[in-house]
Amino acid sequence: MSDKRDNALREQILKLKKERNAVILSHNYQRGEVQDTADFVGDSLELSQKAAKTDAEVIVFCGVHFMAETAAILNPGKTVLLPDAGAGCPMANMITAEQLRQQKQKMPKATVVTYINSSAAVKAESDYCCTSANGVKIVGSIDNPEIIFVPDQYLGDFIAKRTGKTLTLWPGYCPTHMRILPEDIIKRKQEHPKAKVVVHPECRPDVIALADEALSTSGMIRYAARPDVQELVVGTEVEILHRLNKENPGKQFYAASKKAICPNMKKITLDKIAESLETMAPAITVPEEIRLRAKAAVDRMLAGV
């Protein structure tokens, strides 16, 4: 897309945003031009915190479905727009509410901790929600030897190792982070021997074992800003490099694997943002009975961080 067209669209979005009293929230994996048009760019935790506090009447969520749904859970009176209704998260679709109910029947005394990458119906069956930024803290605070963690087996394994707790894991995973392999990290380290390595906890355990730190996306942004970090290998979705480069001129960032692209995150474009503000669609809603139960799990997370 040309800069001229981008600028025209950005102006149109700005105008519509004012008319609608809207705020635009963007995840760190969104296209560069979408990040640059947003009011706030962040990780899942920061975005849900922003969504919980906003005074705007309309939230345009540039991310994937579960993120917009979380904003809708927290804001019953507001309109939450997801500019492409087909922007889903395959990991979130790897467990249904019925499957979680069956697992709970097998372990009736267990506490259920659910990664925010899940549907509202699954959150409604859960005691706590968590993100990659606070999973260790949330699980660490639970005084129950039986904990079910869904749906990401790799984040769950990471949290189990960090807390020393035994978690019953669900076999979900992120197809994008699965593309980052141990040999990619080894190769990048050989190419850039002075670089530090950060990876997302959705990565495979053998990838996490090779990194200096496993962090949420905004955790990586903060790590990159440290004065002792000049070169960084980044094991997560490649678009995070847009923000890393923008905020850290002079530092060098290398994608662990250029194959780590989340096609769903790329579905949101400036055209679709403008169109959704124009038509006020697609709007994401959650049935009230599910919303209230899901909100309890999300509120427990927000209160604990």
Rounded Cα distance, 224 and 250, in Å: 12
Q: Does 153 bind ligand 13P (CB under 6 A)?
A: no
Write out the binding residues for ligand SF4, residues 2-61 only, by CB under 6 A.
none
Q: Which is nearer to ligand 13P, 196 or 243 (CB)?
A: 243
3-state SS, the chain, equals: CCHHHHHHHHHHHHHHHHHHCEEEEEECCCCHHHHHHCCEEECHHHHHHHHHHCCCCEEEEECCHHHHHHHHHHCCCCEEECCCCCCCCCCHHHCCHHHHHHHHHHCCCCEEEEECCCCHHHHCCCCEEECCCCHHHHHHCCCCCCEEEECEHHHHHHHHHHHCCCEEECCECCCCHHHCCHHHHHHHHHHCCCCEEEECCCCCHHHHCCCCEECCHHHHHHHHCCCCCCEEEEECCCCHHHHHHHHCCCCEEEECCCCCCCCCHHHCCHHHHHHHHHHCCCECCCCHHHHHHHHHHHHHHHHCC
Q: Does 132 bind ligand SF4 (CB under 6 A)?
A: no
Contact 80, 68 (CB under 8 A): yes
Contact 268, 63 (CB under 8 A): yes
List the one residue from 35, 48, 70, 117 that touches ligand SF4 (CB under 6 A).
117
Q: Residue 182: which of ligand 13P, ligand SF4, none does it interact with, CB under 5 to 8 A by kind?
A: none
What is the contact mask toward ligand SF4 in residues 240 to 279, using x (rule: CB under 6 A)?
----------------------x-xx--------------
Q: Does 264 bind ligand 13P (CB under 6 A)?
A: no
What is the contact mask toward ligand 13P in residues 196 to 235, using x (rule: CB under 6 A)?
----x-x-------------xx------------------
Q: Does 44 bind ligand 13P (CB under 6 A)?
A: yes
Rounded Cα distance, 92 and 85, in Å: 15
- Looking at 7-15, 68-76, 175-183, 281-289, which segment touches ligand SF4 (CB under 6 A)? 175-183
Rounded Cα distance, 117 and 69, in Å: 10
Q: Which is nearer to ligand SF4, 64 or 169 (CB)?
A: 64
What is the contact mask toward ligand 13P in residues 9 to 38, using x (rule: CB under 6 A)?
-------------------x----------
Report the nearest approach of ligand SF4 to the CB of residue 27 (Å): 8
CA 83-61-270 angle, 5° bins: 50
Report the nearest approach of ligand SF4 to the CB of residue 34 (Å): 14
Report the nearest approach of ligand 13P to the CB of residue 211 (Å): 14
Q: Which is nearer to ligand SF4, 16 or 59 (CB)?
A: 59
Report the nearest approach of ligand SF4 to the CB of residue 16 (Å): 26
Report the nearest approach of ligand SF4 to the CB of residue 278 (Å): 26
Q: Which is nearer to ligand SF4, 46 or 237 (CB)?
A: 237
Instruction: List interacting residues with ligand SF4 (CB under 6 A).
Output: 64, 89-91, 117, 174-177, 202, 237, 262, 264-265
Instruction: List interacting residues with ligand 13P (CB under 6 A).
Output: 28, 43-44, 117, 131-132, 174, 200, 202, 216-217
